[in-house]
Chain A
Amino acid sequence: MLRIEELYASVEEKEILKGINLQVKAGEVHAIMGPNGSGKSTLASVLAGRTDYTVTSGKVLFENKELLEMSPEERAQAGIFLAFQYPVEIPGVSTANFLKTAMNEIRKSKGEETLDAMDFLKLMKQKAALLELDTSFLQRSLNEGFSGGEKKKNEIFQMAMLEPKLAVLDETDSGLDIDALKIVANGVNSLRNNNNAFIVVTHYQRLLDYIIPDFVHVLYKGKIVRSGGKELALELEERGYDWIKEEIAETV
């Protein structure tokens, strides 16, 4: 589904991603861990198409299409979804209206019929229930005055509505209380199937107890320095990153 080859990206002349290679197949869940500032959000932003980042070399194929040549909206329409680490507030745009616009724009891009108001409302209620969200937030301005946890839940709610092929969750677990974490994990699990894939960026092994990954990668200084199964996350939880840093220092 997704193939990243030798990806280099920089921001304001500063190189942040230094040769990322990653392959994600349909049905898989990949976890990306790594110390602060290692480039995890940068990778997520580059995949979503944020223009502040300049890709200096490398290639990203999404379903055999050149992802890097697509605009952010084209990527979303093609089925990429980024759950933001810091979702923005948009006063004056209700969550419901925003989502309806997004859904219909995506549908239109595929030549599908737009949803009518009734069907849309039904779908929203159903997905809100999945995340145990009170529907009153749908009429409120998007993320405005939402608590940190509510914003994260709202991201997953949007994901549930849009049903993307590839979802990148950037630290969706940070700021969630234990109950909310379970709800969000359940939400993700219920959306998992053989046709979609997830990249889950997290600092905590706990999330991976609920969303069980097929692969765990460690991103450090702009590179994936280690990949493994879910045991790798447990090992990191126990030992921290120092041993990996030391091993890298030795090989250089």
Chain B
Amino acid sequence: MDQENMTLLQRLGNEYKRSEESLNGLSGSKFHEIRRKAMDIFSQTGFPTTRHEEWKYTNIFSILHNGFKFSGISSISKETLQTLVIPNLDCTKLVLVNGVYSAALSDILPDDVTVQSIRELFRIKSDRVENTYAEIADSVKNPFVALNTALAEDGLYIHLKKNCKVEKPIHIIAISDAQEDSVVSVPRLFIDVEKNAELTIVYTSHTIGNNSSWKNSVLEVIVQENASLTIINCQTDTSQASVIETIQSTIAEDAHYSLTTVSLGCNFIRNDANVILNGKNSEAHLYGLILGDGKRLIDNHTIVDHAKPHCESSEFYKYILDDKSTGIFNGKVFVREDAQKTNAYQSNKTILLSDTATINTKPQLEIFADDVKCSHGATSGQLDEEQMFYLQARGIGKERARALLLHAFAVDILKKIHIEPIVEWLDKDIAQRLHDEGN
């Protein structure tokens, strides 16, 4: 069969085989076994259709096509990278091009943080990786985790030693290079924050070039006792890009976790942000800011699983949808029998700027404990007319007034990001997208 006549599924299978052959020296390893299992699972399930409850509004087949290349290696110039960095952000950069780590483009790490090749760790039979890799992000539960696990030939293990507080954020720049061809990539990260340690990760997703890209990222996250991890996740790819991203986290006793996702670009986004609060007194906060226009689709699925007592979680997602864009928010909260004194809060607010934009919101609270505080709320509507008139009556034109109010709506989420250069960078991008270039 030639390339043209193969289905995407067959090509993915071939890609897996090709990649298995390239992993020589690892054939008997645990890595090989994990990948094979994942491929088996994916082969059985295939891509989810809209009949699948979790994919009801999100038609993955709209982005799948046969033109994708699995071009692993690609090199981009330092000048190109410079156009993607966040101005004035003091950080340690780690660069992934088409999912592959680029040492040449990345910065030297501070002493307390180690970043290692996952494949290499399997080769030397590291216990940590053998015992935990692909355990947290479960292939059975999500076909795209399975696909990522099967196809990722390597990944980055980011490890912060206990008691270390790293001031400078680590900025992971995940670039899809679609200059020559449409490209698929499977970035894979494993973030391991030990006891009492503190770290901020900035994960930004970019596509360069005019061809389409499909990035299927998986981030596995462990936050150990009394540690703190903040992830700031920015999706600013071109409108030819599709992003499917799973961030699966497990949070131990007294630990703190926050994930802020800002989706400004891409034509298709599906995020699965799942957290298990797995030790008492732990905390998780998920925030989201979404701008949609054109025919873009942005789907956020979250699961917050309260497994232990005295934990706190909050979710706060805001969407601004224009034209024919579609937003989906599906937030599941589980409170297990043991998880007494749980405090869980969830909110989804949407401004619809056109009659043809839609939001599908589904909160799902499943509570098995009796002494808990859980609340959720969802609102959607147009811009407030009284507020519009007030601004106009002060000489502010309609467009500008609209932008001011939308920015005011968005600012709650931006305020959760405590790093000024990131807020400024996002603010500028948002202003441009709202056609509010400032005065």
Contact = CB atoms under 8 A, between A and B. Distances in A.
Interface of A: 48-51, 71-73, 75-77, 82, 84, 87-88, 90-93, 97-106, 108-109, 114, 141, 158, 162
B397 A105 contact: yes
B392, B398, B404, B411: residue with the most chain A Cβ atoms closer than 10 Å: B392
Interface string B140-167: 0000000000000000000000000000
Nearest to B406: A92
A98 B395 contact: no
A82 B173 CA distance: 50
A98 B393 CA distance: 12
Contacts of A76: 392-396
A60 B395 CA distance: 19
Given A88-B386, A88-B387, A90-B387, A72 B392 contact: yes
Nearest to B414: A92
A107 B390 CA distance: 18
Given A98-B394, A100-B439, A72 B389 contact: yes
Contact of A92 (B395, B408, B439): B408
Given A73-B396, A102-B396, A87 B389 contact: no
Given A90-B405, A93-B408, A105 B395 contact: yes
Given A88-B386, A97-B404, A105-B396, 15 more contacts: A71-B392, A71-B398, A72-B389, A76-B392, A76-B394, A77-B395, A88-B384, A92-B408, A92-B412, A98-B404, A101-B404, A102-B395, A102-B396, A105-B395, A106-B395
What 3 A-B pairs are tightest by C-beta distance, nearest first?
A92-B408, A76-B395, A72-B392
A162 B387 contact: no
B424 to A, nearest CB: 15
A104 B438 CA distance: 10
B300 to A, nearest CB: 22
B439 A162 contact: no
Interface centre among A75, A93, A100, by most chain B C-beta atoms within 10 angstroms, is A93
B404 A49 contact: no
Contact of B400 (A71, A92, A101): A101
Contact of B439 (A73, A84, A91, A104): A104
Contacts of A92: 407-409, 411-412
B391 interface: yes
Nearest to B438: A101
Interface secondary structure of B, over-half rule: helix
B393 A48 contact: yes
Contacts of A98: 391, 394, 404
Given A93-B404, A93-B405, A105-B400, A87 B390 contact: yes
Contact of A105 (B390, B407, B439): B439
Contact of B394 (A91, A97, A114, A158): A158
B395 A109 contact: yes
Residue picked from A91, A108, A114, most chain B C-beta under 10 Å: A91
Nearest to A91: B408
Contacts of B398: 71, 73
Contacts of B400: 101, 105
A47 B412 CA distance: 35
Nearest to A75: B393
Contacts of A51: 389
24 contacts: A48-B393, A49-B392, A49-B393, A51-B389, A71-B398, A72-B392, A73-B393, A73-B395, A73-B398, A76-B392, A76-B393, A76-B396, A88-B390, A90-B391, A90-B405, A97-B404, A98-B394, A98-B404, A99-B394, A100-B439, A101-B400, A101-B439, A105-B400, A114-B439
